[in-house]
Amino acid sequence: MSLLEHVDASTNLAKNNEVQLLIFKIDVAETSPYYAINVFKTREVVEAKHHHLTILPSSHPLLEGTIVLRGLQIPILNLPKWLGAELDLEHKKVSNLLICDFNGIIIGIRIMFAHRVIKKNWSEMHAPDSYRLGEDGLVINDTRLDDGSLCLVLDYEKLLADVVPQAMVNIHESPENIQNLVIPNKLKNGTVLIAEDSKTAQRHLQQIFTNAGLSYLIFNNGKELIDYVFSHPNPSSIPAIITDIEMPEMSGFTVVKRLKSNMTTKNIPIIVNSSMTGENNKREAASLGANGFINKTKSHDIIPLIIAKMEECAQNLLPS
C-alpha cells in the first residue's frame, strides 16, 4: 500500500482545522530540510528511472521535459534546481517524481524521496515574517515533525506562475460583460477582505481589484482575517470576504465555519478561492455556509461572482 493511500477524507480534516501533508526530501544530505505538500494536491509518487523523459526545446530552464503516465503527457518540474540544490546524474537516476494536481492541471515535480504522511492542525503551521521579505520568497510556512525536524511548505503557486503560467489565473483576462456590471454601492464604497497566504496569489487578486477600482484588504492567514472581523465596529458593512482553503494558523474552512455560525457575520457573502478544486472541497465549503467557490485559474471572474452572491444574500434578508 502506497503512502498516499493512508489519508483521511478532506471533509473530516476540514471540520477540525486539520491538514494532511506528504513529507519529502529533495536531496540525500542528512542536514537538508524536509518539505511538505498537501496530500490532496498529490496523486502518486513514481520512480523516475521507469519513465522516459522527453526534452522540450526552448522550454523554461526548470521544465525538464515531459513523461507519459497513464495516457497523460505530464510536464516535469525540477524542484531541486528551483531551490538551488541541483541533483547530479546518479542521484537523478534514483530520484522520484511526485505527480500533483493544481487547478486540474497535472504536473510532476522531481523529489529525492517521499518520507511519510503526517496530520497537522493548521494552528501548528507557522508563517514567520522572514518568509515574506521580498517578492522572490519560496517558502510560505513551516511546521515541526515529531523528532523536532523543521519541515518547510513551499509557495507552489509561485513555482507554477514561474514555469507553467497557464496553471494560474490570467489577470489580463476579463469577463466580456465586466464593463456592463452594475457595482452595488456597498461594494463600491466598502472594502473586500481577503485571506490568502501565497504572495503570488495575493498579487493576482491585488491586480484584479485594482483594475476594477475596488477597495480590498489582504490578510496572510485566516486567523488574521477573523481577528479583524470580530474587532470591526460594524461587520455588516463588509461587502464580501474571499478566503483560500490552505493557510497557516487557521484554514479557510474554519474561517467560513466561524463567520457563518456568528449572528453578526453570518450574512456576509463568502467566496472560497482555491486551487483545491475537488468536488469534496466544494461540497464541504457549501455545507459550512460558503456562498461561492471559484478555481484560482478563474479568479478574473471573481468580481461578477461577488456581485451575484451579494444580490443573493440581500434577497435572502428580505421579509417573505
Confidence of residue 174 (pLDDT cuts 50, 70, 90): low
State the chain's mean pLDDT as an integer: 86
22-26, 103-107, 220-224: least confidently modelled range = 103-107
Reported pTM: 0.81
Name the band, by pLDDT with cuts 50, 70 and 90, for residue 15. Answer: low
Task: Specify the pLDDT at position 217.
Answer: 97
User: Domains in the chain, please, with CATH?
Assistant: 3-167 (2.40.50.180), 178-317 (3.40.50.2300)
Type of residue numbered 154 = L
Does the pLDDT value for residue 134 go beyond 70? Answer: no
Mind listing the pLDDT tens digit for each residue in 270-285?
A: 999 987 767 777 888 8
**CA-to-CA distance for 43 and 20, rounded, in angstroms?**
14
Of the candidate ranges 159-163, 168-172, 254-258, 261-265, the one whose mean pLDDT is the lowest: 168-172
**Percentage with pLDDT > 70 across the chain:** 87
How does 243-264 read in b/e, with b if 16+ C-beta sit within 10 Å? bbbbbbbbbbbbbbbbbbeeee
- The band of 9, judged by pLDDT with boundaries at 50, 70 and 90, is low
Grid cell listed for 231: 474587532
What average pLDDT does the segment 20-44 reach?
90
Angstrom distance (rounded) from CA 16 to CA 253: 9
Distance, CA of 34 to CA of 50 (rounded, Å): 25
Q: pLDDT band at residue 8, thresholds of 50, 70 and 90?
A: low
Percentage of the chain with pLDDT > 90?
Answer: 52
Q: Collect contacts of 82-91 with beta carbons under 8 A, ≥24 apart.
A: 82/138, 82/159, 82/162, 83/26, 83/138, 83/154, 85/26, 85/27, 85/32, 87/26, 87/27, 87/112, 91/27, 91/28
Least confidently predicted of 67-76, 94-103, 154-163, 247-256: 154-163
Q: Looking at residues 248-260, what average pLDDT do you find?
A: 93
Segment 295-312, tens digit of pLDDT: 887 788 899 999 999 998
Chain segment 64-92, per-residue pLDDT in tens? 999 999 999 999 999 999 998 888 999 99
Q: What is the mean pLDDT of the segment spanning 238-257? A: 93
Q: Is the pLDDT of residue 105 over 70?
A: yes
- The answer to whether 60 and 77 have CB atoms below 8 angstroms apart is no
